[in-house]
Structure 1
Amino acid sequence: MELDHSFALANSTNSISPKERPISNKDMYHSRPSRRLLIFQEARNVNEVAYLPVNKLGLPICGPGPELPSILELPLRILRAFTEIFNQPKYKGWAVVAAGPYHDTSEEGKFYAVVLEQMKEDGVLMR
């Protein structure tokens, strides 16, 4: 006895409307705003403290990302420095969503991690 699979195949592909279709990981990945992790090292000059990027382009974050405190918990001098850094034109369309101390056991010095998230303007992802 031979089974006719064409009917079952046709019905299985058309039985779920696009609204009822479960969202795949691929769909979720594309709907999530882009996020990047930047690391800065504190460098002291004679007269001032500077924050130098260790990874200038940042690392892409997939998944939940690192747990960092609110940027408001940083000292005021660091907030001022990060405000100057992230108000530069190259960071247009990006927002600081978290920042905090970063402990690197392989290097000496003070480091700070910053999570940036790409902003949407009028429902359109800025690039």
Structure 2
Amino acid sequence: MSTVIEQPVEARLVAAAPRMQSIPATLRYDRCDRFAVRMTFPAPATLEGVEVCWTFARELLAAGLHAPEGQGDVRVRPYGYDRIVLEFHAPEGTAVVHVRAGEIRRFLEAAGELVPVGLEHLQLDLDHHLAELMRDA
């Protein structure tokens, strides 16, 4: 069984121009980091010309489907009938993207099949982590 889920999504960058630019992005969930999701934007889609990856709570993404969530660097909220707005705040500025809510739901369902919500703690391998700590001691 796979321990990682990756799903490409189409994000629409909200900018000053009247038409929103479509940019590719990838959502990623890894059983080893069971509370987090990652959203990666390829180098051509970023101002810096390098791949940018944001890591945030799976719970934040799920809650943002229904109501505005987040107070830090990543904020998520529903928008209209079938869109989700993700805001990424950095010292260089803020990026705002729209993603179809259906794509987010599909991703969260797949992540939930891999590690059910509320059962993340069962994925913790204490023996392995303890062995890693002791190895370095």
Instruction: Please say whether Structure 1 and Structure 2 have the same fold, judged by a TM-score greater than 0.5.
Output: no
| Normalised TM-score (structure 1) | 0.33
TM-score by structure 2 length?
0.31
The higher radius of gyration belongs to: 1
Structure with the largest fraction of strand: 2
Q: Which structure has more RCO (C-alpha within 8 Å, separation ≥ 6)? A: 1
